């Protein structure tokens, strides 16, 4: 009797693009993919920060390079990505938060969040998918959203709107690009200890709200995201597309 074998989690021969890779979840995703054997192109606006991460990754035997990229500058982003060889893997972790009560939201903050979190994510995902279609290759594309793409949150009307939007186009693109064997999913974390989440977690009242909602009674660490990134990038998730992997400690369980 031939026993089934677990599909490989290894990513040798794969090219990965990680947007927002200079810190936080994006940095962790880049390291996870590098550890699994992928060649990782780390992208963000700050080239100095990227170069520092790439230097550390290569010292540890990973294959990595830096690409200065502003996801919100759609026309330039499309040119920059289209000039590269196609990417087998995308992790879009570029994101912005401007938390206010809805009655206090101004147009500047609304546009800043939407332009990066939703508009930028949409066109980056589409651009990478178009490259795969042109090359006739399969791929796995991931958008880092949030549990706030599934539930509401205090002072987060704009942020929730952007992340609900990403969840929506992720599903629609999964349907569109599925016949080309291009899988598109989202990863939706709870509060993770990163520079982006620091303001909320430093406020005692808001931190208590967070800890009361997370059933595992702790905030997340970037390491909690790394295994999910490797899984969705690999053949181990070959039949998974159009879904959202919630890494929320049980926040959305009730």
pLDDT (tens digit per residue) in 146-191: 999 999 998 999 999 999 999 999 999 999 999 999 999 999 999 9
CA distance 8 to 231: 9
Looking at residue 139, what is its pLDDT?
98
Judged by average pLDDT, the poorest of 74-88, 96-110, 119-133, 191-205 is 191-205
- Residue 192 φ/ψ region, left for φ over 0, alpha for ψ in the -120 to 50 degree band, beta for the rest: beta
**Global confidence as pTM:** 0.96
Looking at residue 230, what is its pLDDT?
98
Is 163 part of the annotated catalytic residue set? yes
Is 122 part of the annotated catalytic residue set? no
* CA-closest candidate to residue 200, choices 105, 93, 97: 97
CA distance 155 to 201: 14
Pick the catalytic residue: 14, 122, 163, 213?
A: 163
pLDDT > 90? residue 208: no
Confidence of residue 201 (pLDDT cuts 50, 70, 90): confident
Average pLDDT over residues 97-116: 95
Q: Which residues of 121-131 are buried (b: 16+ CB within 10 A; e: fewer)?
A: bbbbbbbbbbb
Which percentage of the chain shows pLDDT scores above 90?
90
Average pLDDT over residues 213-225: 95
Looking at residue 203, what is its pLDDT?
85
12-30 pLDDT, tens digit per residue, is 999 999 999 999 999 999 9
Contact 218, 21 (CB under 8 A): no
Pick the catalytic residue: 159, 171, 206, 215?
A: 159
Average pLDDT over residues 125-139: 98
Average pLDDT, the chain: 96
Confidence of residue 238 (pLDDT cuts 50, 70, 90): very high
Structure-token match 């178009």, residue found: 130
Can you list the domains of the chain with their CATH numbers?
A: 15-192+221-246 (3.40.50.720)
Looking at residue 204, what is its pLDDT?
86
Judged by average pLDDT, the poorest of 57-66, 122-131, 191-200 is 191-200
């Amino acid at each position: 009797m031939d026993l089934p074998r677990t599909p490989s989690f290894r990513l040798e021969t794969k090219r990965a693009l990680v947007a927002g890779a200079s810190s936080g979840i994006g940095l962790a995703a880049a390291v996870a993919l590098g550890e699994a054997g992928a060649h990782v192109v780390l992208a963000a606006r700050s080239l100095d920060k990227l170069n520092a991460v790439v230097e550390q990754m290569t010292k540890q035997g990973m294959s990595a390079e830096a690409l200065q990229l502003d996801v919100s500058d759609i026309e330039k982003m499309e040119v920059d990505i289209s000039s590269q060889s196609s990417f087998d893997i995308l992790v879009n972790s570029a994101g912005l938060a401007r938390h206010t009560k809805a009655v206090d939201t101004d147009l500047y903050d609304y546009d800043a969040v939407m332009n990066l979190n939703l508009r930028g994510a949409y066109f980056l995902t589409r651009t990478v998918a178009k490259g795969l279609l042109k090359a006739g290759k399969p791929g796995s594309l991931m958008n880092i959203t949030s549990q706030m793409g599934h539930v509401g949150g205090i002072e987060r009307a704009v942020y929730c709107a952007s992340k609900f939007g990403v969840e929506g186009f992720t599903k629609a693109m999964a349907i569109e690009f599925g016949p080309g064997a291009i899988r598109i999913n989202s990863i939706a974390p709870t509060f993770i200890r990163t520079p982006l989440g620091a303001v909320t977690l430093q406020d005692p009242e808001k931190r208590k709200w967070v800890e009361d909602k997370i059933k595992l009674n702790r905030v997340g660490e970037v390491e909690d995201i790394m295994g999910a990134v490797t899984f969705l990038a690999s053949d181990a998730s070959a039949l998974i597309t159009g879904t959202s992997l919630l890494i929320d400690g049980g926040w959305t369980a009730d």
